[in-house]
Amino acid sequence: MKYTLRHLEVFLAVAGEQSISRAAEQLSMSQSAVSAALQEFENRYDMLLFDRSAKRLRLNGLGVTIRTKAESLLSNAQDFDRELKQHEELEPLKVGTSLTIANYLASEYLADYLHRHPRSEVEVVAASSPEIARKVLNFEIDIGLIEAEMHHSDLSQTPWREDRMVVFSRPDHPLATRRQLTDKDILACQWILREPGTAHRKTFDEAMYGLLVDLDIRLQLPQNEAIKNAVRAGLGIGCLSQLAVADDLERGLLVELPLKERPMHRRFYIVTHKHSASSRTVERWMNLCTDHLN
């Protein structure tokens, strides 16, 4: 095929305007570019489509015949382009999130994404951070939002947002009025924690370096709400993401117990498979995550 869609656009613009300069203005091209494209189109088929005079170009008989077919071809191409763009917009997206992110961030992000792209289909899967990473590696989901860095050669990780772990208790706990918990206080407490292997527990264990083997861990529970309920019931003190306890702290249902020289800051990550095909939907979700930080 010797012609391009650009050839058709130039030919039809010149035919409609009967002027190189006005066609160039319509197409946002230079006059020399329009003239060259029109001449190339004619030369490729060894034909003349216009009667040329000093002031304007007028379609000849062949040009009139070609114009009708060119209009049909260009219209069909534009319709096809719109269909492709609609398909791109409708491409489904599978997002995996850790449990904390699912409970306290995902709904807001999902609502914003669907507001921006109302025709999109999005599925959100919630699981532990290691499980979300596994699903990304197995191509079960397109993108994951997790609470800790995962080490795997096929995993692409983008630092996302900062988070802080909080130690908390009931307001009437004996340590609730302390300005800071010392190592001695930490060892005297009964702890209610997330289960080993989770991102929460990894951050907590790292912060408790030197004390971990002597800690009194009373309960290990798989859900944030279960931990908060156990703490409210007086079974011990807990440690969760600030996201999980912010509302309870603000309402006075729980109180934060600051630790002395044992910070528990961490970072959330966006993870994708290094060898997955590029996707506009994944790119859009990543852009949305970035926008929410501003």
Which of 66, 85, 104 lies at the terminal end of a domain, its last residue? 85
Strand segments (E) across 109-259: 122-127, 143-146, 155-169, 190-194, 216-221, 237-241, 255-256
Residues 172, 36, single domain; the answer is: no
Residues 22, 80, single domain; the answer is: yes
Residues 81, 219, single domain; the answer is: no
Residue 55, pLDDT > 80, answer no
Which of 35, 54, 85 lies at the terminal end of a domain, its last residue? 85
Residue 105, both tokens: 């961030």
Residue 170, pLDDT > 90, answer yes
Across residues 179-184, what is the average pLDDT?
92
The pLDDT value given to residue 277: 80
- What's the pLDDT band for 91 if we cut at 50, 70, 90? confident
d(CA 283, CA 128): 23
Residue 86, pLDDT > 80, answer no
Residues 118, 247, single domain; the answer is: no
Residues 167, 244, single domain; the answer is: yes
Residue 46: how many other CB atoms lie within 10 Å: 6
Residues 81, 210, single domain; the answer is: no
Across residues 26-54, what is the average pLDDT?
89
Tell me the pLDDT of the chain averaged across its residues: 90
Give tens-digit pLDDT for 234-268: 999 999 999 999 999 999 999 999 998 898 999 99
Residue 84, pLDDT > 80, answer no
- What's the pLDDT band for 116 if we cut at 50, 70, 90? confident
- The more confidently predicted of residues 215 and 121 is 215
The pLDDT value given to residue 219: 96
Across residues 54-76, what is the average pLDDT?
87
d(CA 185, CA 183): 5
d(CA 195, CA 268): 19
Domain count, the chain: 3
Residues 195, 246, single domain; the answer is: yes
Residue 87, pLDDT > 70, answer no
Domain with 32 in it: what CATH number? 1.10.10.10
Give tens-digit pLDDT for 183-233: 999 999 999 999 998 889 999 999 999 999 999 999 999 999 999 999 999
Residue 279, pLDDT > 60, answer yes
Residues 156, 21, single domain; the answer is: no
Residues 182, 259, single domain; the answer is: yes
Residues 210, 185, single domain; the answer is: yes
Domain with 108 in it: what CATH number? 3.40.190.10
Residues 153, 273, single domain; the answer is: yes
Range of the domain at 106: 93-160+268-291
Residues 153, 272, single domain; the answer is: yes
